[in-house]
Amino acid sequence: MVRAHAVDQRVSRVRVAISEPSSVEPYPALVSARVLLVEDDELLGGSLVRALAATDYEPLWARTVAAALGQVAAARPDLALVDLGLPDGEGIDLVRALLQAEPALPVIILTARSEEADVVVGLHAGAVDYVTKPFRLAELLARVRAHLRTSAARVDEPDVRVVGDLRVATAAHRVWVSEREILLRPKEYDLLARLVADAGRLITREQLLSDVWDEHWFGSSKTLDVHMAGLRRKLGEAPGQPSRITVVRGVDAPMDVKAG
């Protein structure tokens, strides 16, 4: 069993026991990207479209679920900003539909729903981020840039990494467990790729948030917990059973974990 150690709210660390460490190139410079905005509020939508255009992105504005699905099929956006309260459907269902059409599409939810349960549902649906209204425009644009940068970084990664029964084709953004391909959401993949890339080393929770989300991450660390749980489910691991990803609490955790 190959094990990777992840971390909790205290100063915890992650160990990944894999074959060999892999070097990853620095993040490339961003280029103009297409950003799909799904927002039915004319005032807010217009302001966001102007802000995105001023930042040299190509904004695609859809006011309904139907229009958004049409845009993703026709324009292949690089990132989507999705409001949850839409006139012809539920935004969470749209998030799932967008990711079914484009599994690697980073989706950021924009909503006035701020309860923790809503955040968890949104992240479980596959969103990479969850921003509550009202929000600061500069912060939203920083998150957009961070997620686009993470997506672009995959192009320069080594092509295949093997960890026990896991095989990760980084350029193709594909993962297999015992020769069975599994489909991961963008941040689930980024999290797994980050763990697989760091052989036999301990990684703090803060480092994971910095590397997988952004060095200037503004959101809750609950995001990491939700994506870690989702990743375990996708890997076919049930609660209480042995896992490739093992939570180690505290700085004095055992450091010897072997693949075998």
Divide the 260 residues of the chain into consecutive groups of 10 and give the mean pLDDT of each group: 42 35 36 89 95 94 96 91 94 92 88 89 89 92 88 59 76 79 86 75 76 66 80 80 62 29
Q: How many CB atoms lie within 10 A of CB 237?
A: 16
The whole-number pLDDT of residue 220 equals 60
Query: How far is the first Cα of the chain from the last one, in angstroms, to the nearest whole number?
Result: 5
Domains, the chain, with CATH or none: 4-24+158-247 (1.10.10.10), 34-153 (3.40.50.2300)
Segment holding 182, helix H or strand E: strand 180-182
Q: Please provide residue 25's backbone torsions phi and psi, each rounded to the nearest 5 degrees.
A: -65, 155
* Helix residue ranges per DSSP H, 55-133: 65-75, 91-101, 116-124
Give dist(CA 7, CA 163) in Å, integer.
20
Let me know how many helices (H) and strands (E) the chain has, helices first: 8, 15
Find the length of the chain: 260
**pLDDT value of residue 219:** 59
Q: Is pTM, for the whole model, over 0.95?
A: no
Other CB atoms within a 10 A radius of the CB of residue 231 amount to 23
Which of 100, 106, 218, 208 has the alpha carbon at shortest distance from 151?
Answer: 106
pLDDT given at position 215:
54
From 104, 60, 107, 120, select the one nearest 79 (Cα to Cα): 107
CA distances from 172 to 161, 230, 234 (A): 12, 21, 18
What's the rounded Cα separation, in Å, for the pair 67 and 53?
Answer: 20
pLDDT at 149: 82
